[in-house]
Amino acid sequence: MSNTQKQLALAKAAKKSVNTADTEEKNRALLAMADSLEAAAADILAANRQDLEAAAGKIPESMTDRLLLDGKRICAMADGIRAVAALPDPVGEILETSTLPNGLKIVKKRVAMGVIGIIYESRPNVTSDAAALALKSGSAVVLRSGKDAFQSARAIVAALKTGLAQTRIDPEAVQLIEDTEREGSYEMMRAKDYLDLLIPRGGAGLIRAVVENAVVPVIETGTGIVHIYIDKDADWDKALRIVYNAKTGRPAVCNSMEVLLVHEDIAANFLPKLERLLVRDRIEAGLPPVRFRLDPQAARHIGGEAAGADDFDTEFLDYILAVKTVASVKEAIGHIETHGTHHSDGIVTENRHAADYFTTHIDSAAVYVNASTRFTDGGEFGLGCEMGISTQKLHARGPMGLKELTSYKYIVQGTGQVRE
Amino acid sequence: MSNTQKQLALAKAAKKSVNTADTEEKNRALLAMADSLEAAAADILAANRQDLEAAAGKIPESMTDRLLLDGKRICAMADGIRAVAALPDPVGEILETSTLPNGLKIVKKRVAMGVIGIIYESRPNVTSDAAALALKSGSAVVLRSGKDAFQSARAIVAALKTGLAQTRIDPEAVQLIEDTEREGSYEMMRAKDYLDLLIPRGGAGLIRAVVENAVVPVIETGTGIVHIYIDKDADWDKALRIVYNAKTGRPAVCNSMEVLLVHEDIAANFLPKLERLLVRDRIEAGLPPVRFRLDPQAARHIGGEAAGADDFDTEFLDYILAVKTVASVKEAIGHIETHGTHHSDGIVTENRHAADYFTTHIDSAAVYVNASTRFTDGGEFGLGCEMGISTQKLHARGPMGLKELTSYKYIVQGTGQVRE
């Protein structure tokens, strides 16, 4: 047995202590974890300094900021755990009941998933977030942190386990895979006897590797090539406000817009207004301007680079916007269905018929009418938290909260019934 | 592009005609398929004779019966399609609605899965069953029949397409993969851009191959190492009736019992009664007796083979029952969790505490108290139909009906809202 397999077996052996814990026990464990995390701040910061020193010069500055912890960020992580404790417990909910003509009583009950695996990149805060969400949903958790954040993750998990040791939840229910080489991830992907679910959280490359190699059931998350289509019947004030927010609010996240589709009848007048807002106004305000990648039609109306072969299939995660003109809502839908990632896509229109046609035919987790796609988020959707945003259709779609981390079972109570 | 890829692309191109069809259009299509199937009976029987001739001597007799079609069976297939038409349409159901403080209206709506792939063995009736369930749930369908039934499946699909051609559903929404070699299945398993879901239906080997090799999201079905535990507080009449039904009712199906666990306090008196029922009474009645595979304790009370190393990990699908004595409900649970397949498992007891402990700790799709495990079935559970029985925890668990073949999406309606 490899070290990774041993850790998977430990999590499986410890899962019952979580799967069958009641709400109070789980909440007590979460609060103990939060306190313990704050108490271990000095150790965690020391470990984080090791990670930062090892990473210096090796990773870009934007990544360094993700990796960096300070006292405030550790308190925020602890408060995040406390917020999860305050959420309603999804486990035990009765989803359906029925009594058959023969007297059999069938109860469909929400139960814990069992053991959840999470493979993520170098964000230390994901370690405590993911552990808290998994435990609250009733599952043991096996974490695989990015190598660059491993020392930080290890110190965080040590603190979480110290907290758990004071409660009735077995500390082994939280495992951080010690093998930070590829093999650690690959063993998790194939650990069908140990994991009930595997969630990759991170960039497109990580997610692809997990989806392609996993034998364990996976929920694919994240990649968002997000489109907004400005219909010929759009209210331009709304359109400008929505595009501005969806593109510039936080370009590096998955619900940010990457592609603007604009009806050809309004392109000549609408696009220059948009250019002023996204380029000139932002430069004047000292903000990074948006750079355009334009199809030949759009290029006749505003300045920017000609769109290359891949520009309509790229998640830029940057101040870059691909722009294309279309002749109809139908053409817009055709483009989105061919080039999108089924994450979040929107239409801006005052035409009810166009809006309904769009929401019916766009096959994405979240379809917007006259609102920014930035709302695709567990917190915004009222789930109270988020383990990621599913872009597949099996099990969960869009933001995943605690309920989306659970399963169900049928309990059938009889008085000796047999089948004819 | 291989022939299989072309067929997958045809299904994907045709999916919109099903995904967005209303209930009436789908039902009209199903009824046309049923009529067309009956009208093509002569062609189907001729194709079936080809399959039977090719299979003669190559496959066991029990398989030949599965493969065989006659007029009555074709009418039963057509009636099966008509029964699916009569079921409620799951698509379009509003699952949740909410209005956020900023005025955004969020509707969570049940939608079609998209394109569903099904890989099955040599049962011609699965061809029409699976096609009908997929279409009614709003999805296009790509079928991969076992090679031995391919001519029959082809004739059936030709008839279904003839029916569809008279309706507004594109006949290309039903594809039967022409490549009956391994490559045909493997291309489906990797067809992430074409299939939203892949369901294997058949024996353990087929299911394992799909789970191990698929990149497309899979629902694992079927294998049932089903346990019944007779508690020391069991009502013996119920216990005997339930074991008799669960073991001998239809031993070749997945919800039939394979392992009996019996409390050691009652083994000496209970097991001889069971032996009389399952062996002597059946021989006297001219029925095949049940053969036991016994642990050393059980062997002291009844006759049978000593259980070998694998006998508690085998889906016999035959008149064979493995028997083991246990010291407590806890030991029974430990055995089931180690050796079971999370399909259906039951307890027979009059002790409410033992029953609750068992249903809480057994992590199976269906957990029974004082009833035969043979009830794990879409029809029996009131789903009206069944595409298979899921033994995984993601998406669907237990019998899968039409709802379990769907997904959902969020439709967000705003008036220009942007995220702060």
d(C-alpha B313, C-alpha A160), whole Å: 37
How high is the pLDDT of residue A57? 84
Token readout for B81 is 């399609």
Q: What is the DSSP string of A73-135?
A: HHHHHHHHHHHHHTSPP-TT-EEEEEE-TTS-EEEEEEEE-SEEEEEE-S-HHHHHHHHHHHH
Q: Of A109, A241, A363, which to mutate for an interface test with B (greatest number of B Cβ within 10 Å)?
A: A363
In this structure, the answer to whether residues A210 and A354 fall within a common structural domain is no
pLDDT in tens, B73-99: 999 999 999 999 999 999 999 999 999
A369 CB within 8 Å of a chain B CB: yes
Express as a percent the part of chain A with pLDDT over 70. Answer: 100
Q: In terms of CA atoms, which chain B residue is nearest residue A16? A: B361
B415 CB within 8 Å of a chain A CB: yes
How high is the pLDDT of residue A202? 87
Token readout for A5 is 């397999």
Rounded to a whole number of angstroms, the CA Rg of chain A reads 24
In this structure, the answer to whether residues A233 and A329 fall within a common structural domain is yes
Measure A155 CA to nearest chain B CA, in Å.
32
Residue A313 domain-assigned? yes
B242 contact residues in A (CB cutoff 8 A): 416, 418
The pLDDT of residue B24 is above 90: yes
pLDDT in tens, B153-193: 999 999 999 999 999 999 999 999 999 999 999 999 999 99
d(C-alpha A167, C-alpha A33), whole Å: 10
pLDDT in tens, A351-409: 999 999 999 999 999 999 999 999 999 989 988 888 999 999 999 999 999 999 999 99
B361 contact residues in A (CB cutoff 8 A): 16, 20
In this structure, the answer to whether residues A295 and A201 fall within a common structural domain is no
The backbone torsions φ and ψ at residue B218, rounded to the nearest 5 degrees and listed phi first, read -120, 145
Q: Which of residues 13-32 of B touch A (CB under 8 A)?
A: 16, 19-20
In this structure, the answer to whether residues B266 and B188 fall within a common structural domain is no
Place of tokens 């870009």: A60
Measure B64 CA to nearest chain A CA, in Å.
26
Domains in chain A, number: 2
Question: B356 with B233: CB under 8 angstroms?
Answer: no
In this structure, the answer to whether residues B215 and B356 fall within a common structural domain is no
A409 CB within 8 Å of a chain B CB: yes
The backbone torsions φ and ψ at residue B261, rounded to the nearest 5 degrees and listed phi first, read -110, 130
In this structure, the answer to whether residues B210 and B230 fall within a common structural domain is no
In this structure, the answer to whether residues A326 and A272 fall within a common structural domain is yes
Place of tokens 């909260």: A401
In this structure, the answer to whether residues B286 and B361 fall within a common structural domain is yes
pLDDT in tens, B106-125: 999 999 999 999 999 988 99
Dihedral class, residue B76 (left if φ above 0, else alpha if ψ from -120 to 50, else beta): alpha
3-state helix, strand, coil in chain A (%, to 5): 45, 20, 35
Question: B390 with B368: CB under 8 angstroms?
Answer: no
Q: Answer yes or no: do A369 and B407 touch at CB < 8 A.
A: no
pLDDT in tens, B175-186: 999 999 999 999
Measure A295 CA to nearest chain B CA, in Å.
25
Least confident of A249-263, B26-40, B53-67: B53-67
Residue B394 domain-assigned? no
In this structure, the answer to whether residues B230 and B212 fall within a common structural domain is no
Q: Of A256, A359, A394, A405, which to mutate for an interface test with B (greatest number of B Cβ within 10 Å)?
A: A394
Q: Answer yes or no: do A380 and B100 touch at CB < 8 A.
A: yes
**Mean pLDDT within B130-140:** 98
Distance of CA B338 to the CA centre of its chain: 23
The candidate with the shortest Cα–Cα distance to B131, out of B258, B226, B214, B34, is B34
Residue B386 domain-assigned? no
Q: Which of residues 236-295 of B touch A (CB under 8 A)?
A: 237-238, 241-242, 244-246, 249
In this structure, the answer to whether residues B237 and B318 fall within a common structural domain is yes
Residue A389 domain-assigned? no
B361 CB within 8 Å of a chain A CB: yes
Q: In terms of CA atoms, which chain B residue is nearest residue A390? A: B409
Residue A280 domain-assigned? yes
Interface A-B: count of C-beta contacts within 8 A: 195
CATH of the domain at B97: 3.40.605.10
Residue B153 domain-assigned? yes
CATH of the domain at B263: 3.40.309.10
In this structure, the answer to whether residues A204 and A265 fall within a common structural domain is no
Residue A151 domain-assigned? yes
How high is the pLDDT of residue B223? 85
Residue A59 domain-assigned? yes
Q: Could you tell me the residue range of the domain that residue B252 belongs to?
A: 226-375
Q: Of A94, A230, A412, which to mutate for an interface test with B (greatest number of B Cβ within 10 Å)?
A: A412
Q: Answer yes or no: do B415 and A370 touch at CB < 8 A.
A: yes
In this structure, the answer to whether residues B232 and B250 fall within a common structural domain is yes
